[in-house]
Structure 1
Amino acid sequence: MADPLYELLAPYFDSPASPRLVPSVQDQVTAKYLNRLSTLPLASLTSSEPQSLAQSSHTALLSLQSLSARSNSALVASSEHLSSLRTTLPQLATEAESLRNDIPELDEQAVAFSEKYCRNAENEVLDRRKKALLMARNVDRLSDVLDLPTLLSSAISSSTAQGPSNATNYASALDLHSHIKRLHLLYQDSELVNSIYQQTEEAMQEMTSNLISSLRAQNVKLAAGMRTIGWLRRVAPELDGNSSNGEGSLGALFLVCRLAALVSMLSALDPLRDLADQETAIRLRDGNSIKKGTDAWSIGQQTERYLKRYIEIFREQSFAIVSMYKSIFPSGPDTTASDDLGLKFKSLGLRSVSQPTPTPQQQDPLSPLPSALSTFPLHLVGLLTTTLKQYLPNVRDKSSRESLLTQVLYCAGSLGRLGGDFSLLLADLGQDDNDEEGDGHGEWVEVMKKHRVLAGKLESLASGGSVRGMKGLADGRAKSPNEVK
């Protein structure tokens, strides 16, 4: 039905009255409309159908106008692109032909690149790139590792600024040093780790110097000394070598540092010592004429002041050094420092000390050295006796001499409680080189008798509950016999 109807209506197209193209019979819109016309009654073809077509045409016209208003720029651009297709398509075909010709060469280059930079092949450029990528992925870890020497130096500097009593950051510095040592053991071939380890060792050497310097301070308490020695054992384990007394070289180092502190404290008495030297020069110049004069008391007054202060400092510091040493370095099982010290004093014939039977280790001349404390008190006593022999003859007043000798006896008793009683070494101190009567030993015997009487009285006071007397006995303060009475 549609085809005869199409044949009937086709002549009306492309006519002067209606100059339009003839629609194709295969067009779906045309076929659909012809099918619709076949269903309409004849009367509607002249009445309602023209109005319906006019309305549809008007609606389509409005839609086209609205579309052209909205898509004006797109339509213009599409028109321009459509006009340029005549030149673009031939150019695209030419470039596609060129690309097709270049594909074999590109394939050869890709194969060559793949063979050159293969993972299994050794290539310097590829290795550098791999290292760069690895560093980029681990930049945070590298930054933390590079900051380790700075953190270590900061911890050491802050601890040094706080002083030996408040050096709390030394423990953190030691932990950092242990961590860096572990890294060095794990990555010995790494130049970066080796560089960090070298910087760390320099910082630890500085820390070792600071710790040793802290041992030379004047007022080092037992707790601070034990902490410092403990840190030195971790920082410099080579100083804590194997030895029979279990102290290594740290014991000798500790005694040397404390001796330097004692010498520093005694050097503060140089103004008084200069006055005592002047009195010594006067005594040596005038000889025994001072003894017969009327200014025997005034000529030794400055020397007495110097010796009193010297003996007081010596007593306090010597007792503190030896007691602190014994607390920090306990004696070993084979031999003790006090036994060694007693043997040293007995070898001088000064005190009857029970000598233990020498062990095979002690008889062996190649055995490890004894404790440093075995000879240290002898050096201390040598400093004291040298000073007393040099300046004690300047003091001519009997009560002043007895007061000084009594103070020395208290010092010997104080050190004697630690195994270093040197009272018999002082027997020759009372003998004056210019003393014609030779009553120096008699003076010493008299001082010893008075000292024993005073010691007995103090012991009786201590046993009777006198705290004051006990404290005086323990401190060993030097007083003249008249002052004690």
Structure 2
Amino acid sequence: MDADDSEYLSYLTSLHLADLKSEPAKLNSSSAQLTNVLITLCHTSYPTFLSAHQSVNTLSTSLNAFSSSLDALISVLPVVEQKAKGFLEEVKDVQAERKKMKVVVENLGRVEEIVGVGGVVEGCVRSGWYGEAVEVEMRIANLARKLDPDGRGVVWDVKAEVDQRIRSMVGDLLSGLRESGANKLPVLFKTVGFLRKMGVLDEEEIAQAFLSCRLSCLKRSLEDLDVERRTSGTFTPVTPSFQQSSVSGSGERYLKKYVDVWREGVYDLVSQFTTIFLERSAASSETTEFLHSLLTTYTTHLLSVLLGTLEVTLPTVQDPSALNSLLTQLTYCATSFSRIGLDFRWIIGGLFEDAVRAGVTKGFRDARDKFIHTVSSTSPTVLSISTSSTSATATGSSSTNEPSLDAVRLDTTNPPHVPPHILTSHKPTVIYANDLLTTLNGLRLLAPKNLYRELLTELDKSLDEAGAAFVDVITTTPLTISSSSSAYGLQGALSKEEPGEKGKRTRVYLGSLFVNVFVPFIRRALVEGVYGSEGEERENDWKSQLGFVRTWEDWLQSSTPPE
């Protein structure tokens, strides 16, 4: 029994008896109505039923054919799948290349920019836009690491090209440090900043390169001075001498310029290096210690360069006032450098002492050689005396034509730098005195205390050799007395040789003039006039040191000249 039957039975059981009896009639009526309706429907809609029946038959046939085709398709699907997989494998590389090309096409503008980065960096380097070049290099490096970590793509080739341009920029920056025009702190600081930012060199290497380049710049400036001095045609190396020269000394001008250029260059180098490297808080203690030692090494080398130049050039400075000026200039220079720990005052003193020693010694020896040559001449005029000079100082002489021995004494009450007038009675002696006084006057401008004994010994040596030659001449050579009234007594006519006692008196006069007036005056001029050491040299001391004095005194005792 289906559900409809069960439902209808339930309906029947719920009816009253009267309704139940009338139910068959209702059913017949309903059946008749349905039959009429069905007949009407069939009559009116039979084409539709025929079409539906035909469609059902056709559908059944089609389903059977579809089932057969589907079975055939299912049977060939594994083969198709295998062919599709093989095709995919064959076009995989093509798809990858197509994908890359698609990406390239979509980013063609950016690719062109990346490929042209090398030219951009080169243009920046040529134009001096180093900051922009460094920024581009950093961006291409980051892009290469991001896009191609393996380092095998085109972007790494572009990076290699950029790195080559950057290396050329490093050379340009280092060359810029050597230029004399790049001596301003902001320019140098900016250049070193570029080198640090590029990361090509570490801090110690940058510091070494900086000092080396700036040292090359300073050396070139100093060499330019040397070239200027040599090409000017005014410099001629001379033997050191403390006698005044009428020729302007190019050695003095050269040294003054040299010291100025050296002072400015070294001070700039030290101050710039300190500001750029030593004042950076980021540097480690080990690096800072190395930088300090590096700076000390370079400054010591520069100081040796200055001292070497002074050692070579100072002997060519002939003017003692120029030496004094140079010493003052160098003293101020050394004092200013003491603030940075480069005080070299204790070194230059010895160099100037050597220059003074050489100049004064040369002056003493030249004057000695000149005097010896003069008195050794065969001309009788060089050993004549002026009677006008001797008579002007004579006291108690019987005749004004005879030299007086009483006046041949040095008056120690006179200033030590004022020559006795009696020296004018003998021209070679007064010329010798003038030559020595010229040297001593130069020494007064710069008289190192340490050289006092040494110069006095050298003077005594020169006087001893000159005196020995002079005593030998005046004790063995016939002398004449000039009758001229000239102040120096050598321009007038000479008398004939004076024989006998008068000739002995003349010899005694000339020897006494040299021993008792000239020698003590010259020694006093050095001892008191230059060094102010009055009373330190007793007469017996120096006389015992000069051998010609003993020779002269021995001759006096053997000759016994008349009064």
**Aligned residue in 1 for 2:135:** 175
Shift of 1:435: 5.0
Shift of 1:401: 0.9
Is 2:316 aligned against 1:394? Answer: yes
Aligned to 1:407, which of 329, 334, 354? 329
Structure 2 vs 1, CA of residues 259 and 202 (structure 1 numbering), >3 Å: closer, same or farther?
same
Q: TM-score, normalised by structure 2?
A: 0.45
**Aligned residue in 1 for 2:187:** 224
Aligned to 2:196, which of 225, 233, 240? 233
Is 2:144 aligned against 1:184? Answer: yes
Structure 2 vs 1, CA of residues 253 and 393 (structure 1 numbering), >3 Å: closer, same or farther?
same
C-alpha separation in 1, matches of 2:449 and 2:165 = 59
The one-letter code matched in structure 2 to 1:184 is: A
Structure 2 vs 1, CA of residues 110 and 282 (structure 1 numbering), >3 Å: closer, same or farther?
farther
1:64-83 superposed matches below 5 A: none
Aligned to 1:249, which of 171, 183, 205? 205
C-alpha separation in 1, matches of 2:290 and 2:224 = 38
Aligned to 1:315, which of 263, 267, 278? 263
C-alpha separation in 2, matches of 1:416 and 1:323 = 13
**Aligned residue in 2 for 1:418:** 340
Give the match's secondary structure for 2:340: coil
Structure 2 vs 1, CA of residues 124 and 109 (structure 1 numbering), >3 Å: closer, same or farther?
farther
Shift of 1:124: 3.8
Unaligned 5+ runs, structure 1: 1-106, 160-168, 241-247, 337-358, 448-485
Q: Greater CA radius of gyration, 1 or 2? A: 2
| Cα displacement string for residues 24-61 of structure 1 (whole angstroms, at most 9, x for unaligned residues) | xxxxxxxxxxxxxxxxxxxxxxxxxxxxxxxxxxxxxx
| Cα displacement string for residues 85-137 of structure 1 (whole angstroms, at most 9, x for unaligned residues) | xxxxxxxxxxxxxxxxxxxxxx999988743442x667444433333333223
Is 2:120 aligned against 1:151? Answer: yes
Unaligned 5+ runs, structure 2: 1-76, 363-439, 451-563
Aligned to 1:324, which of 269, 272, 277? 272
Structure 2 vs 1, CA of residues 139 and 441 (structure 1 numbering), >3 Å: closer, same or farther?
farther
Give the match's secondary structure for 1:296: coil
C-alpha separation in 2, matches of 1:110 and 1:133 = 30
Give the match's secondary structure for 1:238: coil
1:32-181 superposed matches below 5 A: 114-118=84-88, 123-159=92-128, 169-181=129-141
Instruction: Report if aligned partners of 1:275, 1:302 keep a CA contact under 8 Å in 2.
Output: no
**Aligned residue in 1 for 2:63:** none
Deviates more, 1:207-216 or 1:273-282: 273-282
The one-letter code matched in structure 2 to 1:315 is: R
Structure 2 vs 1, CA of residues 274 and 146 (structure 1 numbering), >3 Å: closer, same or farther?
same
Instruction: Report if aligned partners of 2:321, 2:445 keep a CA contact under 8 Å in 1.
Output: no
Q: TM-score, normalised by structure 1?
A: 0.52
Shift of 1:278: 8.1
Shift of 1:281: 4.3
Structure 2 vs 1, CA of residues 259 and 444 (structure 1 numbering), >3 Å: closer, same or farther?
farther
Shift of 1:369: 7.4
Instruction: Report if aligned partners of 2:267, 2:337 keep a CA contact under 8 Å in 1.
Output: yes
Aligned to 1:258, which of 203, 211, 214? 214
RMSD between aligned residues:
3.8
Deviates more, 1:135-144 or 1:368-377: 368-377
Structure 2 vs 1, CA of residues 112 and 136 (structure 1 numbering), >3 Å: closer, same or farther?
farther
C-alpha separation in 2, matches of 1:441 and 1:425 = 22
Is 2:245 aligned against 1:296? Answer: yes
The one-letter code matched in structure 2 to 1:197 is: K
C-alpha separation in 2, matches of 1:156 and 1:116 = 54
C-alpha separation in 1, matches of 2:447 and 2:174 = 41
Structure 2 vs 1, CA of residues 275 and 390 (structure 1 numbering), >3 Å: closer, same or farther?
farther
The one-letter code matched in structure 1 to 2:159 is: Y
Is 2:154 aligned against 1:215? Answer: no
Instruction: Report if aligned partners of 2:320, 2:446 keep a CA contact under 8 Å in 1.
Output: no
Aligned residues: 288
Is 2:229 aligned against 1:273? Answer: yes
| Cα displacement string for residues 191-248 of structure 1 (whole angstroms, at most 9, x for unaligned residues) | 20111111111111111111111111213211111111111101135322xxxxxxx2
C-alpha separation in 2, matches of 1:325 and 1:145 = 38
Identity %: 26
Shift of 1:155: 1.5
